[in-house]
Structure 1
Amino acid sequence: MTHPLTSLSGKKGLIVGIANRHSIAYGCARVLKAQGAELAVTYLNAKAEPFVRPLADELDASLVLPLDVEKPGELETVFDAIREQWGRLDFVVHSIAYCPLEDLHGRVVDCSLEGFQQAMRVSCYSLIEMARLAEPLMKDGGTLVAMSYYGAEKVVENYNIMGPVKAALESTVRYLAHELGSQGIRVHAVSPGPLKTRAASGIAHFDALIDAAIERAPQNRLVDIDEVGATCAFLVSDAARALTGDTLYVDAGFHIMG
């Protein structure tokens, strides 16, 4: 039986970042739905829609909409649809990131201006935009959750320019938490250990990163998307109402190791 504090019954939320059933965003959506939340789901473009729509159907999503944050007006259209359908919003899960491969695979010192700007635009600034659009819909408070990675805090081989980008994301989370806290809006970053998602496959020598995580983590294992989802569901719930501005690690303890 769901505890009243962790129940999400009656809560309505937007999930951004589902690409397929291995996506972190899908794990979050699945757990949030199981806890009683009603969901709106986005897909990147027409090419991605056939992979996302069946998952949205499984989730019984009330809204299924295209969203490419680099296309002017698409984000506003999503929030307009939410306003029209629900009139309010209780949470947003931001699980998108992007960097051109030539910049992701190169040294930070060699990163192009265009690659850096695009990585920041998609991976970080879009959270600011979502917070701005969500603010008037979160009349009774709400929660924004963004996905980060340990490479924001420490140097991780081959993570390269995404390290500084995720560090900016985590700092943005803290500033948004400060600015929106008086309105009852809480903002968090969740930092999962390495997961075999489509996005992660772009990182060079990713298998070595996986092996190192298993070897060094105190639990000697990887986490899965449902475990990330469970943490997200807790943060969205009333049980976490006194928490904001944190980065929570879901990595089997990897981050504590020296």
Structure 2
Amino acid sequence: MSHDNSARDPLPKIWDEDTRVGDMLKGKRGLVVGVANGDSIAFGCAAKLRAFGAEIALTYLNDKARPHVAPLAEALDARLLMPLDVSQPGQMQAVFEQLRETWGTLDFVIHSIAFAPRDDLHGRVIDCSQAGFLQAMQVSCHSFIEMARYAEPLMNPGGALITMSYHGADKVVDHYNLMGPVKAALQSSVRYLASELAERQVRVFAVSPGPLRTRAASGIDHFDALIDMAISRAPAHRLVDIAEVGRLVAFLVGGGASGMTGDTLYVDGGLHHMA
């Protein structure tokens, strides 16, 4: 798939229809982690949060990724664009220190990153290496816990921490393999973090989209078959898109979800209901 999306091409597709809603999130500020290009789930979240009035900060993985992310950050008028490789010591701390210096407080953090080594991801869970399992857990799960720890002292009451999961955390999905147990751990972490942060009036969620044609998802073995299965079995008989994921995230960040926390919310056209 192409990763050469221009700065302006993807924006109107998921931006214009919601700018009419107004400033539902005006005054809210937060960090979105995981934008790789205009097809990223994280970009869908960032674009919708911005469309509803929030100020956003973005990160990029490394120097190779920056040229793909920087034009998107400019198009969304992102206040900050910072490097973040969660496997590199000190980078996450530096991101949150910059957020503290620039804004002082936060209203949301969106965590949309995951990784597993190819050999471990494409093989059976029983055959995965210890190193591969630990790397997948560190990048995909523990990094969310670490972000919550750095975000905690900055979070305003009513703030939200949101990560991305998948139905393979709940049920066995062919070829999802190692990421199934990893995402299950992530969803469990959401529940525990929600309990621990409730006293500070900080809410925690996992959002579980259906399969999407993103760069990250393309690493899953037989991904086209997974897409075909989702379309055929979901009651809606279609894939969701990043705009639909972004609208759900905007709802969770906003006051309409003030009575919710610790939940995994699905935006998959009803796929997770099907046996």
How far residue 3 of structure 1 moved from its aligned partner, in angstroms, is: 7.1
> What TM-score, normalized by structure 1, do the two folds share?
0.98
Q: Which of 44, 56, 64 in structure 2 is aligned with 1:27?
A: 44
Judge conservation of contact 2:22–2:53 (CA < 8 Å) in 1: no
- Aligned match of 2:184 in 151, 156, 167? 167
**Residues 22 and 52 in structure 2, CA contact (< 8 A), matched pair in contact too:** no
Please state if 1:2 is matched with 2:26.
Answer: no
Aligned residues: 256
Q: Which structure would you say has the larger RCO, counting Cα contacts within 8 Å and 6 or more residues apart?
A: 1
Matched, 1:244 2:265: no
Q: How does 1:204-219 map to 2 (within 5 A)?
A: 204-219=221-236
Q: What is residue 129 of structure 1 aligned with on the other side?
A: 146
Alignment of 1:212-227 (within 5 A): 212-227=229-244
Which residues in structure 2 correspond to 1:73-152 (within 5 Å)? 73-152=90-169
Pair 1:156 & 2:169 matched: no
- Counterpart CA distance in 1 for 2:202 and 2:29 is 14
Deviation at 1:182, TM superposition (A): 1.2
**Structure 1 residue 141: deviation in Å?**
3.5
Task: Name segments (4+ residues, structure 1) moved above 4 Å.
Answer: none
C-alpha distance in 1, partners of 2:45/2:65? 19
Q: Return 5+ residue gaps in structure 2 as ranges.
A: 1-19
**Bigger mean CA offset, 136-145 vs 146-155:** 136-145
Counterpart selection for 2:199 from 167, 171, 182: 182
Q: Distance in 2 between matches of 1:190 and 1:139?
A: 21
Q: Distance in 2 between the 1:93 and 1:175 partners?
A: 17
TM-score normalised over the length of structure 2: 0.92
Counterpart Cα distance in 1 of 2:239 and 2:213: 10
Identical positions, percent: 65
Match of 1:39 in 2: 56
RMSD over aligned CA atoms reads: 0.9
Match of 1:71 in 2: 88
Q: Give the gaps of 5 or more residues in structure 1.
A: none
